[in-house]
A and B are shown apart, each in its own frame.
Chain A
Amino acid sequence: MSEASASSATTSATVLEQADAERKQARRESWRLLRRRPGFIIGMVIVVFWLVCAILEKRITPYDPFTYTTKAKLAPSADHWFGTDKIGRDIFSRVLAGARDVLVVAPPAAVLGVSLGTFVGMTMGYFRGRVDLVLSRIVEAFLALPVVLVGLLVLSLAGTSSVLAAITFDSRKVLVIYVVALLFTPIVARTVRAAVIAERDLDYVTSARLRGESATFIMTREVLPNIAAPIVVELTVRIGYAIFTVSTLSFLGVGVQRPSPDWGLAISEGRDVLQAGIWWPVTFPALAIATLVIGVNLVADSIQAVYER
């Protein structure tokens, strides 16, 4: 109990300040290590490139991604770098603009899923006992559910619901965000629960409890900052999976709808002309998805390596 007696000498406010300073120091250190990893730099370059495309969208595309022309199914050329699709839209423009569709859906879904998962995981890990037992079983059952199939089930049904239309502001994208976030919640909860259990019996938690702090205070001000690292890692990994899931759902036709230039949707639209040897409407959106997920995962992997060193 030496820590408890030391903290009684200083006020708890200065202890928190010191802890803040230490964390800032640690963050600077991690950032320095991150910048030295080639995987991180390459990943960031890819991610930033697609972010810029998503933000600027029509301002940088050579043609309008939505207007169709009579010049259908043109092979890649100097005029149309990636060719044109079956209704004559410029594929290069559509691929650049398509970054917006996936990037407005996947990262918010990951953030929402990680937030919910952190809440559930902390509840399980901190209170243990019966709450934990019941929630753990439910999490286990959720983990057995195939994410894409449940996405198909919920999204196809949800399209018919008026209540859901109200809370999603009538937007398909918001609905996809909710569904993906919900499917990620139990996965995140399991990770956070493990992190909380490793922390909850440490001296600082005990001394906070002895000081008479409330459970909410201990969880948000004491435990949460100390499990920030695994949560950040989980978030970056989840963003990768969210892109994976969101583009699969679009491909299967229950995600973002036409005439959006979304990449998954574009692959599904280009599928029927592929047999005729028209390979470009499928290839370029596919490469776009591939580069974005690889970029995100390079960043996630570097962050994980730095935090777990």
Chain B
Amino acid sequence: MLRYILKRVALSLITLWLLVTIVFLMVSLLPSDIARNILGNTAPEASVIAFREEFGLTDPLLQQYGRLMKSLVTFDFGQSWSTKRPVWGMISAPLLRSTKLAALALILTTPISIAAGLIAAKYRDTRIDRAIVLTGLATSSIPEFVTGALLAVVFGVQLGWFESVATFPPGTSLIGQLDYLLLPASAMAIVYFGYIARMMRSGTIRALESDYTRTATMKGLTGGQVMWRHALRNSLAPTITVVSVQIGYLFGGIVGVELVYNYPGLSRVILDAVKDLDLPVLQVAVIIVGAIYMITTLLADLVIAWLNPRARLELGQQ
């Protein structure tokens, strides 16, 4: 197990390094006069040159790359161009708020999706199954911000059940915040329902068709016992993988939902940075979200390996 963990972590670190390099290359190979664009056409040439000097835009690429790597390795993350504040200071609080929203979405969606997947598998090819599969297909294909907008219209504006603006006043209690966060979190929960339910369904069907399930049925266990003790445990592995992948996607898709509800999360920082061409902020935001995705998939792989020795073997053979 230890060897597996070390190998898997090493692979993740290589991928993370590649990810940083890809982002750096994308940013620096886009041939643009960014200083001129930030300062505007009317800015005097001298201030454009001063800007380039100040942020090292005239340095050789390798040197800029080294600076980025150094700032990431030391968790310093550099300085914003527009506010001149440290990037981490600008990102950390909104990132935490986005995490809260994402966590709520995950809490809402995971149990319901797993239950729906199990039910669909149990009543395979009946009307119930088809209804669940079709609902999942429909909801997971609609962009988060569209679902969010429709929920805001129906439950926020028309029915008035929940707040359709997610900026709660400071000092609101955790329960009180729910009132504001429930709609945006539901929008994301609805989108991810389809992915998780589908994976759970196919995993359970595979488990139900396997030899060990037949053995369990033959030795006289009831349907419920077979489901809980044998099928569920084995169909969880692909579901854990898909949930972990969704955690990464949650942070990618959250931007649209946050904008619909005016939620002061990551989206606000990112969209401001887009407006001001605040490259350091954008770059770090993309890298952090990518790193979150990689950490969650890494953790999922470790959990699966811990549950199932066969998965450990597979990586060993690669």
B is a partner of A: yes
Q: Using a CB–CB distance below 8 Å, which chain A residues touch chain B? A: 39, 137-138, 140-142, 144-150, 152-154, 156-158, 160-164, 240, 244, 247-248, 251-254, 264, 267-268, 271, 274-275, 277, 279, 282-283, 286-287, 289-290, 293-294, 296-298, 301
- Kindly specify which of B86-94, B112-120, B146-154, B215-223 makes contact with the partner chain: B146-154
Find out whether the CB atom of B19 lies under 8 angstroms from the CB atom of A152. no
Q: Please indicate the chain A residues that have their CB under 8 angstroms from the CB of B277 in the complex.
A: 156-157, 160
B178 within 8 A of A: no
Find out whether the CB atom of B249 lies under 8 angstroms from the CB atom of A146. yes
Find out whether the CB atom of B274 lies under 8 angstroms from the CB atom of A146. no
Assembled-state Cα–Cα distance A140/B13 (Å) = 12
Find out whether the CB atom of B145 lies under 8 angstroms from the CB atom of A267. yes
Assembled-state Cα–Cα distance A142/B293 (Å) = 11
Q: Please indicate the chain A residues that have their CB under 8 angstroms from the CB of B236 in the complex.
A: none
Question: Smallest CB–CB gap between A154 and chain B, Å?
Answer: 6
Q: Please indicate the chain B residues that have their CB under 8 angstroms from the CB of A144 in the complex.
A: 15-16, 19, 248, 290-291, 293-294, 297
Find out whether the CB atom of A275 lies under 8 angstroms from the CB atom of B145. no
Find out whether the CB atom of A145 lies under 8 angstroms from the CB atom of B31. no
Find out whether the CB atom of B286 lies under 8 angstroms from the CB atom of A244. no
- Report, nearest first, the 5 A-B pairs whose CB atoms are least far apart: A146-B252, A141-B18, A161-B32, A160-B32, A297-B141
Find out whether the CB atom of A275 lies under 8 angstroms from the CB atom of B164. yes
Q: Please indicate the chain B residues that have their CB under 8 angstroms from the CB of A279 in the complex.
A: 153, 157-158
B23 within 8 A of A: yes
- A297 and B137 contact, Cβ closer than 8 Å, known pairs A152-B282, A274-B164: yes
Contacts beyond the supplied A142-B19, A150-B26, A248-B144: 11 A-B pairs with Cβ under 8 Å: A141-B19, A141-B21, A145-B23, A145-B290, A157-B27, A158-B32, A160-B32, A164-B32, A274-B153, A287-B150, A296-B141
Chain B residues 256-290 with CB under 8 Å of chain A are 256, 259-260, 270-271, 274, 277, 279, 282-283, 285-286, 289-290
B143 within 8 A of A: yes
Find out whether the CB atom of B256 lies under 8 angstroms from the CB atom of A251. yes
Which residue of the partner chain A has the closest CB to B266? A149
Assembled-state Cα–Cα distance A277/B156 (Å) = 10
B1 within 8 A of A: no
Q: Using a CB–CB distance below 8 Å, which chain B residues touch chain A? A: 14-16, 18-19, 21-23, 26-27, 30-34, 36-37, 134, 137-138, 141-146, 149-150, 152-153, 157-158, 164-165, 248-249, 251-253, 255-256, 259-260, 270-271, 274, 277, 279, 282-283, 285-286, 289-291, 293-294, 297
Which residue of the partner chain B has the closest CB to A140? B15
Assembled-state Cα–Cα distance A254/B27 (Å) = 16
Assembled-state Cα–Cα distance A286/B157 (Å) = 15
Q: Please indicate the chain B residues that have their CB under 8 angstroms from the CB of A277 in the complex.
A: 157
**Which of the residues A146, A148, A162, A275 comes within 8 Å of B165, measured between beta carbons?**
A275
Find out whether the CB atom of A152 lies under 8 angstroms from the CB atom of B270. yes
Q: Please indicate the chain A residues that have their CB under 8 angstroms from the CB of B33 in the complex.
A: 160
Which residue of the partner chain B has the closest CB to A149? B286
Find out whether the CB atom of B256 lies under 8 angstroms from the CB atom of A248. yes
Interface of A is mostly: helix
Find out whether the CB atom of B251 lies under 8 angstroms from the CB atom of A253. no
Question: Smallest CB–CB gap between B187 and chain A, Å?
Answer: 11
Count chain A CB atoms within 10 A of each CB in B22, B142, B283 and give the residue with the most.
B142
Assembled-state Cα–Cα distance A264/B144 (Å) = 12
Q: Please indicate the chain B residues that have their CB under 8 angstroms from the CB of A164 in the complex.
A: 30-32
Question: Smallest CB–CB gap between A288 and chain B, Å?
Answer: 9
Find out whether the CB atom of B286 lies under 8 angstroms from the CB atom of A267. no
- A137 and B143 contact, Cβ closer than 8 Å, known pairs A145-B286, A148-B255, A251-B256: no
Assembled-state Cα–Cα distance A12/B22 (Å) = 45
- A247 and B146 contact, Cβ closer than 8 Å, known pairs A148-B253, A252-B256, A277-B157: yes
Q: What are 18 A-B contacts with C-beta separation under 8 Å? A: A140-B15, A140-B18, A145-B19, A149-B286, A152-B274, A153-B282, A156-B274, A157-B32, A160-B34, A164-B32, A248-B144, A253-B274, A264-B145, A267-B145, A271-B260, A274-B157, A283-B150, A297-B137
Find out whether the CB atom of B252 lies under 8 angstroms from the CB atom of A147. yes
Find out whether the CB atom of A286 lies under 8 angstroms from the CB atom of B149. yes
Q: Please indicate the chain A residues that have their CB under 8 angstroms from the CB of B297 in the complex.
A: 144
Question: Smallest CB–CB gap between B148 and chain A, Å?
Answer: 9
Find out whether the CB atom of B30 lies under 8 angstroms from the CB atom of A294. no
Q: Please indicate the chain A residues that have their CB under 8 angstroms from the CB of B279 in the complex.
A: 157
Question: Smallest CB–CB gap between A86 and chain B, Å?
Answer: 16
Which residue of the partner chain A has the closest CB to B20? A141
- A252 and B294 contact, Cβ closer than 8 Å, known pairs A157-B277, A160-B34, A279-B153: no
Q: Please indicate the chain A residues that have their CB under 8 angstroms from the CB of B18 in the complex.
A: 137-138, 140-141
Q: Please indicate the chain A residues that have their CB under 8 angstroms from the CB of B248 in the complex.
A: 144, 146
Count chain A CB atoms within 10 A of each CB in B26, B248, B291 and give the residue with the most.
B26
Assembled-state Cα–Cα distance A198/B107 (Å) = 39
- A146 and B31 contact, Cβ closer than 8 Å, known pairs A138-B22, A154-B26, A286-B150: no
Question: Smallest CB–CB gap between B132 and chain A, Å?
Answer: 14
Q: Please indicate the chain A residues that have their CB under 8 angstroms from the CB of B143 in the complex.
A: 244, 247-248, 251, 289, 293
Q: Please indicate the chain A residues that have their CB under 8 angstroms from the CB of B146 in the complex.
A: 247, 267, 286, 289-290
Assembled-state Cα–Cα distance A290/B142 (Å) = 5
- A146 and B290 contact, Cβ closer than 8 Å, known pairs A157-B32, A157-B34: yes
**Which of the residues B22, B141, B256 comes within 8 Å of A145, measured between beta carbons?**
B22
Q: Please indicate the chain A residues that have their CB under 8 angstroms from the CB of B286 in the complex.
A: 145-146, 149-150, 153
Assembled-state Cα–Cα distance A31/B157 (Å) = 45
Question: Smallest CB–CB gap between A307 and chain B, Å?
Answer: 16
Assembled-state Cα–Cα distance A268/B257 (Å) = 11
